[in-house]
Amino acid sequence: MKIRIGLLIFAFLATCASAPAQHAYKRGGKDGVISKQLVANYADSLQQVRHRLDSLKVESGDSRYAQLFTPLTFYHAPANQLLRLNPQQEATDSLGTMLDRTLINIYLKRPDLVRDTETHLREVGAPLATQGKPKKNHTDIVKEVAPKAIEPDAVPMDIVITRPNFWTIGGDYFLQFLQNYVSSNWYKGGESNYSVLGRLTMLANYNNKQKVKWENKLELRLGYQTSKGDSVHTLKTSDDLIRYTSKLGLQATKKWYYTIQMVAQTQFAHGYKSNDKKVYSDFFSPFNLNLSVGMDYTVDWLDHKLMGSAHLAPLAFNWKYVGREALATRYGLDEGKHGMTDYGSECTFDLAWQIAENIKWKTRLWGYTTYKRAEIEWENTITFQFNRYISTNLFLYPRFDDGAKRDDGDSYWQFKEFMSIGFSYSF
């Protein structure tokens, strides 16, 4: 409506301005020459009309009008609105509906006018504001009718493509003082006492997020103790372990894997009893290697608080080696032999339960049977984390082995326990 009023005012003023000019033309028309005053008056009238038109402004705070006056761009909203089954927005947003229909009409009839897309504008980003002199208004109407598109400056970008890393490296370690309890028939020897213990666990796991998973874990534990009642040994080992576990799995379902598992285990140093020079265990005395084929189940329960794996293997191969010939019978080997092989079934449950924010329980249940003999190990570590670096551990370790030699009156069941407090760190 305002535009129509402006056009009527323009026509009226033009008519009023041309009347005196025509009268002057008739008065000076005898010689056919238009006076310079007539031209000047006509130019002044046009200039006044121009100023009046420029003063007519339509105030609007809606930036969507810019879509009609900037270089034509393909926007997503008009197409989305057109393809909706129930366009409810038309009743509440008449301006948006008008703009969408206008743009759709141009897209369909004059696609050659489209110079850019909304996706490309988002990738390029907003143009940088230039610092300098304020921009002056153009006085030429022709230049305003045909504006020039402002192209954004091309910014060089460095694109680096890296190969995905399917490996996860981690672990934890601690150095703690502890109170230690060992049953009298513990298969590696030792006694109840105070000691110091260090443990290191390293993990290197591969998972390509498709079918193949390979997990590797190395556990190292070594502890020493002193005893005033032992007149033979100044230091004895209270805990001694070298264990490497490797599992290669091929995914069968979401949580089940066809798995080959290998467990290799030995110790660092000699194992003694108090006031006894006899060596009860040593490096590679014994050494146990277990290779099994079965299925592996990924445990993820209690909202990611109970996690781990369960390995069930109906077919397992076990090789036990004793380097010291004198210890052969102690670990179930025939006298004078260094090695023994047998076949059976094996299972491993390796779980970690975050009971509370500062309480965590790790358990490992390993069992192997040939249906003539059986070995069961159940390791439990309950950790109370005071802060990032200080913690206390309660370690409970029952064990059963009916294939090893036992002393008179001893049970096949063995038990070990210790409690410690000290420095710990995870990485």
| CATH number for 418 | 2.40.160
| Residues with Cβ within 8 Å of residue 349, at least 6 apart in sequence | 308, 309, 310, 311, 363, 364, 365, 366
What are the tokens at 260? 């080959």
Helix (H, G, I), strand (E, B) or coil at 109: helix
Residue 321's Cβ-side half-sphere holds a number of Cα atoms within 13 Å equal to 11
Please indicate, yes or no, whether residues 245 and 326 belong to a single structural domain of this protein.
Answer: yes
Please indicate, yes or no, whether residues 139 and 189 belong to a single structural domain of this protein.
Answer: no
Q: Which of 110, 130, 145 marks a domain boundary?
A: 145
Cβ(275)–Cβ(230) under 8 Å?
yes
Q: Which of 129, 145, 161 marks a domain boundary?
A: 145
> Total structural domains in the chain?
2
Per-residue pLDDT of the chain in tens (427 residues, 90 and over written 9): 444 444 445 444 444 544 444 444 444 444 445 678 888 888 888 888 777 766 655 555 677 777 777 788 888 888 887 777 665 555 566 777 888 888 888 888 888 888 888 888 888 776 655 555 666 655 555 555 555 666 667 667 777 777 788 999 999 888 887 666 777 788 777 666 678 889 999 999 999 888 999 999 999 999 988 877 788 888 888 889 999 999 999 999 999 999 999 999 999 999 988 888 899 999 999 999 999 999 999 999 999 999 999 999 999 999 999 999 889 888 888 888 999 999 999 999 999 999 999 999 999 999 999 988 999 999 999 999 988 889 888 999 999 988 777 766 678 899 988 888 888 878 7
pLDDT for the residue numbered 1:
47
Please indicate, yes or no, whether residues 139 and 246 belong to a single structural domain of this protein.
Answer: no
Q: Which amino acid is at 408?
A: D
DSSP character string of 75-91: -HHHHHHHH-SS-GGGG
- Paired with 420 in beta bridges are 178, 393
Residue 392, Cβ neighbours under 10 Å: how many?
Answer: 18
Q: Which of 94, 110, 145 marks a domain boundary?
A: 145
Q: Residue 325 — left, alpha, or beta (φ > 0 → left; ψ -120 to 50 → alpha)?
A: alpha
pLDDT for the residue numbered 8:
47
Q: How many Å apart are CA 46 and CA 4, to the nearest integer?
A: 19
Please indicate, yes or no, whether residues 14 and 123 belong to a single structural domain of this protein.
Answer: yes
**What is the model's pTM?**
0.59
Please indicate, yes or no, whether residues 173 and 228 belong to a single structural domain of this protein.
Answer: yes
Cβ(235)–Cβ(224) under 8 Å?
yes
Indicate whether 400 belongs to any domain. yes
Q: How many Å apart are CA 11 and CA 5, to the nearest integer?
A: 10
Q: How many Å apart are CA 217 and CA 129, to the nearest integer?
A: 56
Q: Residue 3 — left, alpha, or beta (φ > 0 → left; ψ -120 to 50 → alpha)?
A: alpha
Please indicate, yes or no, whether residues 116 and 233 belong to a single structural domain of this protein.
Answer: no
Helix (H, G, I), strand (E, B) or coil at 179: strand
Indicate whether 295 belongs to any domain. yes
Indicate whether 152 belongs to any domain. no
Please indicate, yes or no, whether residues 120 and 200 belong to a single structural domain of this protein.
Answer: no
Indicate whether 153 belongs to any domain. no
pLDDT for the residue numbered 205:
95
Q: How many Å apart are CA 18 and CA 46, to the nearest integer?
A: 10
Please indicate, yes or no, whether residues 225 and 359 belong to a single structural domain of this protein.
Answer: yes
Please indicate, yes or no, whether residues 282 and 329 belong to a single structural domain of this protein.
Answer: yes
Please indicate, yes or no, whether residues 141 and 173 belong to a single structural domain of this protein.
Answer: no
- Token pair 């038309």 is found at 90
10 Å CB burial of residue 178 (0-12, 13-18, 19+) is: buried
- Token pair 């141009």 is found at 106
Distances (CA, A) of 199 to 272, 359, 418: 20, 19, 13
Indicate whether 164 belongs to any domain. no
What are the tokens at 14? 């033009």
**Residue 306 sits in which domain range?**
169-426
> ∠ at Cα 119 (113, 122), nearest 5°?
115
Indicate whether 155 belongs to any domain. no
Please indicate, yes or no, whether residues 199 and 260 belong to a single structural domain of this protein.
Answer: yes
Q: What is the dihedral of CA 189, 192, 194, 195, to 10 degrees?
A: 20
Distances (CA, A) of 217 to 67, 122, 353: 61, 47, 18
Please indicate, yes or no, whether residues 136 and 231 belong to a single structural domain of this protein.
Answer: no
Indicate whether 151 belongs to any domain. no
DSSP 332: T
Q: Which of 67, 61, 70, 99 is nearest to 82 (CA)?
A: 99
Handedness of CA 34, 35, 39, 42 (dihedral sign): negative
pLDDT for the residue numbered 281:
93
pLDDT for the residue numbered 59:
59
Indicate whether 389 belongs to any domain. yes
Q: Which of 193, 170, 220 is nearest to 420 (CA)?
A: 193
What are the tokens at 107? 């897209």
Q: How many Å apart are CA 30 and CA 32, to the nearest integer?
A: 6
pLDDT for the residue numbered 151:
66
